Structure 1
Amino acid sequence: MAAIEDSANKFEREKWLSEQEFKRRELAISERAQSLSEQDFLFKIEDAKRSRWASPLIVAILVAAIAAVGNAVVAFMNGRQSEALENTRAEASRILEMIKTGDADRAAANLRFLAESGLIENSERLDAIRRFLAERAPGQGPSLPSPSTTIGLQPTRTLPAFDPLRPSTLAVGRLEIPMAFGASGTRNVNCTAFRVAADLVITASYCLGRDQTSERRIEFFPIAADGSIRAGIPIKLPPRETIMLPGTLGTSSENIGITVLQMDTVSMVDGGWLTLSDAPPLLEQPLGAIAFLNSPDQMLARDTRCRVFSVSQSQFAHGCQLGPGAGGAPILNSDGTRVVGIESWGGVDLGWAVRADQVVARSEILRRI
C-alpha cells in the first residue's frame, strides 16, 4: 500500500515538473513572439520614415525645388552679366562722345571731367584713363572729328509743321531778368522758361538770383507760330514755389532749385503748355531741347548726341548742345509729349538737367496740375 502511494506521489511530482517546464517554454515562446512583434513594429516605423522620402511625390517636389533654385541662380547671373555689358557699352559710348572734339587737349579735358565726376564706374577703365591723362603730352592723344554744330542746333522757326517738337516750341519763351552788376549798373540776363499751366512758367532758380522781391520787373517773352517774339508778360514776385533737390551729379553736391513763377496775365496766343513726365529718364533715351542761347532765335538741340548719358537720384547728364541762356530749358522726349528734365547747367559737350519726375514729386503746385 505504501509502495502504491509513493508511486502516485512520484507521478504527481513528475507531472507537476512537466507542467512547469511546459509553462516555462510557453512563456519563453510568448516572450520571443513579443520581441519579434516589437522588432517588426520598429522595422515598420523605420520603413515608414524611409518610404516618406522615397515617395514619388516627395521626390518630384524636391527635384522641382532644386530645378527652381538652379534657374533662379542662372537668371541672376545672366542679369548681372547683362547689366555689366550694358554699363560697359554705355561707358564706351560716353567716352567716344567726349573725344569728338577735333582737338586732343579738349578731348583730354572731357575725359578728365568724366573721371572726376563719377561717370566712369569700371575701376580698371577709370585707372587706365587716369594713367593716360597723367602720361599724356600736350597736343597728343585720341580725338575724333567734331560733328557740325548746325546738325545739333537749328532755329525752331525752320521746323516743318509736321515735326513732333513743333507744337512744344510755342510753350517755351525767353525770361529776361534785370541783374545788378556793381559799378556797371543793371542789365538784363536771359534764361529760358516754359509754361506748365495757363498762367505758370518754370525755370532754373539760379536765373532769378537772390533778389526775388516784387521791385524787379521780370518778363516772359513767348513766341508766335511764325517764330517771332511776342511782347513780354510781367512775372509776379515772389515766386509761387521753389523746389529744392540734392545735387547728385557733376562736381558740386550743393542743392539745386527749380522755381514756379506766375504770369501777370494768362497767355495762350498760339499754344498751350508742356506736361512734366512722372517717369524717370532712361539711359540712351533720345531727347530734344528747346532754349534761347543768348540769341534772338529760339533754338532746338536734337541730334544723335542729344540723349541721356547717366541718371542719378535727382539729375541726369545729357549730350544736347546747349550753352549760356539755356538754364530752365525743357528737355523733352523725342516726340515732344513729355518734359523729362529741366536744364540746370551745361555746355556744348555735356549738360546736366533736373529730373522732371523728381520735381513733380516734391512740388505742391505741379502735382495738382
Structure 2
Amino acid sequence: MSEHAMRTVVVTQRFFDEDTVAYLNSHGCEVRLAEMPPGKADGELSEDTLVQMLADAEGWIVGHARVTRQLLGKLPRLRVIARRGVGYERVDTQAVADLGKVAAIAVGGNDACVADHALALMLAVSHRLRESQMQMNAGSWNILTGADLYRKTVGIVGLGRIGRGVVQRLKGFEARLLAVSASPDDEWSRVNGVAHVEIDELLTSSDVVSLHAPLTPETRMLINARALARMKPTAILVNTARGGLVDDAALLDALASGRIAGAGLDVFQSESDPSCMSVTRALIALPNVIATPHSGASTREGLVRTNRIAAQCVVAVLEGRAPPSDCVIADGRHRAEPTPEQLKTPTHV
C-alpha cells in the first residue's frame, strides 16, 4: 500500500508490543503510540487532550478512557475504537452506533491471566502471605495459621469466560463449586461440577466468594453491607471484575470489624469515583487485604494477546470486513459512512 494511503491508528495504552505494531503496519496502518504523562493512564486524559491525539486517526486502541458522544462528535475521521480489554462500561455504545462507528473489545485475550490472578488472590489471602511478611519485616517469625483452599466451597458470581476459567483451576483443588449466572449453561455446569444457586445461598455457604460479573445497573453494589453480613466470618471476598460491584465502604467495615476474614482486590470504586479514594487507601492498608492496581490482565503474554486481538478488530473495520462477532459491542456502519470531506479535514479544538 502506498504511503499516502496509510491509515492512522492511535494507541493510548502502554505496553504495546513491536510484533503488533508490525502487524498493523503490514495492513497499511501507521501506528502512533501516544506519549502518556508519567504515572497517567488514558482514563485520566482530558477530552481536549484526546481530541488532539486522535484528530486524524481512523482507528483507536484504547484502555480506560471514556468514549463519550461528545468526544466522538469531535472525531469525524475515527471509524473504529478497540478496547484492549473486555469491560466496556466507559464506552457509549449507543453513540458509537448512532455516529456510524464500530467499537470492539479484545474477547479471549486476558481470560487466562485474570483467572490466574483470582486464584493467586484466593491463595494469598487464605495463607495470610501479606501478614506473614509484614511480621517478618518487623522482626517476628511467629507462624500465622492460614486456611486451605483444598476442598473448600467457592462461590463464583458470573460464569463468563473468566469465571469458567476460575472453575477449571479450582477443580484441581477439589473445591465445591457454587455459581450465580445471568444465563446459566446447565450442561456445562453439570460436566464441570458447578451447582447454580441463588445469591443468598452462595453468600452463606461459600468460604470464598469470587466476583466475575459485568458491571450493570443490576449488579452495581451487589456486594453491599447486607450481602457481607450473610457471609461466613471465616470467608474471603475476591474481586477481579469491577469496583462498582462492591460497596467498598461496607467492605472496609466488614474487614476492620472481623465480620469477614479477608479480601483480595484488583479493582476499586475509586477507579471511577475519586471521592472513594480515602476508602481505597484504608482498604489497602489493612493486613488482611491483598491489593493490586487493576493489574490482573497485565501479564506479558496477556497484553500481547489483547494487543493483537484489538489490532485485528481495527484492521477488519478499516478493510471493510467484520471483526469477530463476539468482539463487537457496537456497529453503526449501516447508519453512516464518513464523507470524503470528513476524511480530508481533521477537526481540532
TM-score by length of 1: 0.23
Which structure has more strand as a fraction of its residues? 1
TM-score by length of 2: 0.24
